[in-house]
Structure 1
């Protein structure tokens, strides 16, 4: 079976939920030229990955200005379910595609989570995954997921799922997805380093699955003007991208895309998943369950 995928590398309208939803529709329409079965957006695309911002925090103190920025960020984050998630579902249905998108999820208690949403071609929200461990100062603004939503989703062309950014450096969640039979592994990220490309290739070889890395391309011009003073010491390009599609042998299918916005299109030959397991199957003949055992607590 052949599967068409489209990977969006772009920036949202930072800190603006409504305008970001409009832009998502525009980008989905542009990607629809390739008739994708799967359409993927980066980590924290709603309302944006706030790279370079401190939210007025330091060890032992928080500023009033930082709390105001936090308020704006929270107000433009996404409740699940909500009218906004319905709009995302309508986009998936309109373009007849599985839509996978990174969002900042606002819980009823007020905590924010870095999450990924999965919609099917009928616009149904299949599920979400909350990032298990925010990295570094992300922990100031995002809570930790509890792992209960770590799963894969069965489609006509195989099982899809994935992890967010540096979750992909956590061996046990990866192993759990392999045990779940993942065929197309999706890795929305904010990591723009060259070393991330090696991670994507390693996971593809290890899991014998297609791996899709999806990042934003963001410049200072994409930020609200009132935040530019805090970014004065940053490079003009805040995130240079690096979105990439890798096959189960670790070969690059498309990308990496650097230093510009764009859309990666690729046709995935799902027979490669089976062919790749002739000599290595991480949950089969290479697993050694007589020596190792993996258990998920919830």
Structure 2
């Protein structure tokens, strides 16, 4: 794996204010792309904010890609950056999922990972765990609590992941992170890139 310039968007999304968060993401993507970032990573649930369901419910969640994500893909075609986007989605089964979408430099949606280790009350657990190949790199995605123990990282490694990305909304406190990301890297000998949100919602 060669060198890749990565931008981590440690943003402060507002829970439930989807329009504001979308504008914030677009602005940050432009800044990162103008600084020659090849990969741009958002935190977990960046489009909605973490505690969105307590403010606006879940009825607004769309099947993806929706109009906004398609429009973002068209913009990325000009920016030449790959984006890993944290966004809730409605599945074809009607279930709701906490997902990360991968939109490549040509603006194509090339894959997604649904969160496996679900700890909230609105989303179902994803069932598929596979690396996503972009820029000739096999990328494993662990969404927040997916990195809590070694199982998911081990599975991704066994399936050929060369790097692990961890879009997260994992705050400090009683159940805050205590070296889990570092441990996953040590166990599998793989780089783990974490993009955590900032602030509180």
Quickly name the TM-score band, shorter chain normalised: 0.7 to 0.9
Distance verdict in 2 for CA 1:87–1:161, change over 3 Å = farther
Q: Provide the rounded CA distance (Å) in 2 between the counterparts of 1:173 and 1:90.
A: 32
Does residue 200 of structure 1 match 2:181? Answer: yes
Does residue 31 of structure 1 match 2:32? Answer: yes
Structure 2 gaps of 5+ residues are none
1:172 is aligned, of 129, 151, 155, to: 151
1:125 is aligned, of 84, 106, 109, to: 109
TM-score scaled by length of structure 1: 0.60
Q: Provide the rounded CA distance (Å) in 1 between the counterparts of 2:75 and 2:186.
A: 33
Contact 1:16 1:76 in 2 (8 A): no
Question: Post-superposition shift, 1:17?
Answer: 2.8
Q: Provide the rounded CA distance (Å) in 1 between the counterparts of 2:159 and 2:83.
A: 20
Aligned to 2:192: 211
Aligned to 1:49: 50
Aligned to 1:12: 13
Question: Post-superposition shift, 1:216?
Answer: 1.1
Number of residues of Structure 1 aligned to a counterpart in Structure 2: 198
Question: Post-superposition shift, 1:169?
Answer: 2.0
TM-score scaled by length of structure 2: 0.87
Contact 1:46 1:77 in 2 (8 A): no
Distance verdict in 2 for CA 1:94–1:180, change over 3 Å = same
Distance verdict in 2 for CA 1:73–1:11, change over 3 Å = farther
Q: 1:117-168 deviations in whole A, cap 9, x for unaligned?
A: 1111111111111111312xx1x2112212x2x1112234521121111111
Does residue 92 of structure 1 match 2:98? Answer: no
Structure 1 gaps of 5+ residues are 56-68, 219-237, 240-298
Q: Provide the rounded CA distance (Å) in 1 between the counterparts of 2:117 and 2:181.
A: 19
Q: Provide the rounded CA distance (Å) in 1 between the counterparts of 2:146 and 2:123.
A: 14
Question: Post-superposition shift, 1:87?
Answer: 2.1
Distance verdict in 2 for CA 1:78–1:186, change over 3 Å = farther
1:155 is aligned, of 134, 151, 169, to: 134
Contact 1:78 1:84 in 2 (8 A): no
Structure number with higher strand proportion: 1
Question: Post-superposition shift, 1:192?
Answer: 2.2
Question: Post-superposition shift, 1:19?
Answer: 3.1
| Structure 1 residue matching 2:177: 3-state secondary structure | helix
| Structure 2 residue matching 1:9: 3-state secondary structure | coil
Does residue 112 of structure 1 match 2:93? Answer: no
